Amino acid sequence: MLDHNNIIQSDELKSIYFLHQDTVITHNGEIFTCDFESPSVDKIDALIKKHPELLTDPFRSITVKKIERTAITHIIEDMSSSTHHSLIDHESLNAVAERAVEILQNSAMREVSDIHIELYAKQTRIEGRIDGRMVALQPPVPEHEYGKLLFGYLFNELAVDKDDDFYQNKINNGRIEIDLNTPDGLRETLWRIGYIPAKDNGGQATLRWLNKNESVPLLDNIGWETGHVKIMRDFSNSASGICILAGQTGSGKTTTIASIINELKGKGRSINTLEDPVEFDLGVMQSSVVSQNDDEDLMFKYAKALLRHDVDIESHGEMRDMKDAMNVCRKGETGQIMFTTMHTSSAIGIGHTLNEQMHVPSALIAAPNLMKLWIYQTLVRTLCPHCNLSLDDVTPHLNNDQKEKLDKWLTERDDHVLKANMRFKNPSGCEHCNEGEKGRTTLVEMIVLDDEDRLFISNKDYLGWSKSLLKKGFKPISEHAALKIKRGQVDLFTANERVNGLLTNNSTDVYQQLWDE
C-alpha cells in the first residue's frame, strides 16, 4: 500500500496532483495512476526529467503503474493533512502562479463567465459558470492552504486597482488583466475579482470575465422578438424619457444596453455612459465608475458632472439607491433619453422597488411621459441541435413529478403543434454541448407605460395593475418562454428554473400535497 511519505511533494508536483487527482509519483521513480490516459502522467514525467534531483536515484528510469482511484484519493488526503506552510518561498510562489494562471487559462478555453474559488476548513473548491450553469472546473482539493495561497497570489501579484493587499479577514475587490488563449485565439482578458471572508478561516473569491464577448451583438440577435425590438427603437427615437431594464445578476442587461447604444451612435446625438466597470468598447464616451476607498457616492458625482456635458442619451449603469434613482428621474425630466438597470424579478416589480425600497415618490414615478419603458429579462440555456430529444424520446428519462407537471402543462395548452415541436435536453449530452445544452437566449417582458398604468402606480395598486395589463394584451415572460419552447429552442424544465409561473401548481394543489406519501 502506498504511503504519502513516499510521494514526492514539491509544490509544482502537488499542483499536478490536485488538478486531476488521479496520478502521483514516488521518490524511487514510480508513477502510480488510475488512468493511463491522464494528462498528469506526461506532466509529471516532464517535470521529473527537468528536475531529476527530486528522485532518490536521479538516473533511475521512470515507470508507470496502475492503481485504484480510491488509493490515489487516500494518498492526496493524507498529503493534504500533513502539509504545513510557514512562508511562501520562491518555489511555492512559482507553483501558486502556475495554478492560478492554469485556472484562468482553462476557464477561458471553456468560455466560463464566472470563476468561484471557495475555501473551506479542509477543502478548496474551484467551480465556474458555463452558460449560466455552475460546474466543477476540477475535483475539490482536500487542502485549506491551496485556496489561501491562490487568493494571496491573485490579489497581491495579479490584481490591479484593488482595495488593498490581500488579508484573509477583509473584503477586497480588484481587476485582473491577462493574455490568455481563448477559442478565438490569444487575446487580453479582463476579470473583475471580489473576495469575501467566511467561517472556519475560509472565504470566497469570484472572478467575472468582463470582456468575454469581444463584439457587441446586434439588437436583432439577442433573442428578442421583432415586436420587442420595434418597441425599443420607437423609444430610442423619442424626445426623452426613461427605460429601466431589470433582471437578476448575469441576466444580460449590460449586453442588451450595449446593443442599443451601439445602434444609436453616429446618428446626430451625444451619448455618454457611466458603467461599473466598462465591459464593451462602444465607440462613445464611456466612464468607468469603479468605487475606491468606500466612496459610495462616486456614481452620483459622475452623474451630476454629466449635467454640464450636453448629453442627449445616457446609460446610467445600475440604480442602487435613492440618489441614483432621483438622478435618473431628474435627467429624464430635463429632456434626455435615459437607460438604466436594476434588480427585480418582474417588470411590474420595478414600480414597487423604486417606491418602497428606493423611496422615490409614487407621484414622480407616475409623472406624465417620464417612465416610458420597463423591461424584465433573463437568460435561459438553449438546446443542443445535435442531441436534443423529442417528447417521446425524453419520457423515459423523466421522473414522476416531471411527468405530472409536463402532462398538466400540455393539457392546459392543448396545442398539437406545441407537442410536435417540443424538444428536450439530452441528459447524456454529446461532444458539442454540456448536458444537452449549449449557449443561451433571452426571455423578456415589456411594459410600455401609458396614463392608465401611471394611475395604478400612483395608487400603488400593483395587483389591480397586473390584471389590467393582462386585459390589454401584456405578455409576461412566461409566455415568451412558452413560445421558445414551442419552437424547440429551449427545454421546458430548464426554462422553469429561470421563469416564475411557468410550471406551478395552484395553492389548492400545493396544500393537498402536504400529506401525500
Q: What is the mean pLDDT of residues 392-406?
A: 92
Q: pLDDT for 480-512, tens place per residue?
A: 999 999 999 999 999 999 998 888 766 677 677
pLDDT of residue 477: 96
Query: Going by CATH, does the domain composed of 90-209 fall within 3.30.450.90?
Result: yes
pLDDT of residue 449: 97
**Among residues 290, 228, 284, which one has the least CA distance to residue 256?**
228
Name the band, by pLDDT with cuts 50, 70 and 90, for residue 464.
very high
Statement: residue 88 has pLDDT above 50: no
Quick one: cell of 477? 415572460
Q: Which residues contact 291 (CB under 8 A, 6 or more apart)?
A: 276, 298, 299
Alpha helices in 292-450, H assignment, sequence order: 298-305, 322-333, 349-352, 362-365, 391-394, 400-413, 416-421
> Phi/psi class of residue 516: alpha, beta or left (left: φ > 0; alpha: ψ in -120 to 50)?
beta
- Residue 391: C-alpha distances to residues 403, 409, 478, 486 (Å): 11, 13, 20, 12
**Among residues 397, 489, 493, which one has the least CA distance to residue 442?**
489
Statement: residue 167 has pLDDT above 50: yes
Quick one: cell of 223? 433573442
Q: Report the distance separating Cα 466 and Cα 447, nearest Å.
A: 11
In the sheet that 133-136 helps form, which strands lie side by side, from edge to edge? 133-136, 124-130, 114-119, 202-209, 185-198, 172-182
Q: pLDDT for 191-201, tens place per residue?
A: 999 999 999 99
SS3 content of the chain, % helix, strand, coil (to 5): 40, 25, 35
Q: pLDDT for 208-265, tens place per residue?
A: 998 898 789 999 999 999 999 999 999 999 999 999 999 998 899 999 999 999 999 9
Cβ atoms within 10 Å, residue 191: 25
Q: Which residues contact 392 (CB under 8 A, 6 or more apart)?
A: none
Quick one: cell of 94? 512559482
pLDDT of residue 342: 94
**Average pLDDT for the chain:** 90
| 273 contacts 282 by C-beta, under 8 angstroms | yes
Instruction: Enumerate the domain spans of the chain.
Output: 4-81, 90-209, 219-378+443-508
Quick one: cell of 361? 415618490
DSSP state of 414: -
Q: Report the distance separating Cα 324 and Cα 376, nearest Å.
A: 19
Upper half-sphere CA count for residue 503 (Cβ side, 13 Å): 19
- Domain 219-378+443-508 fold: Rossmann fold (3.40.50)
| 425 contacts 489 by C-beta, under 8 angstroms | no
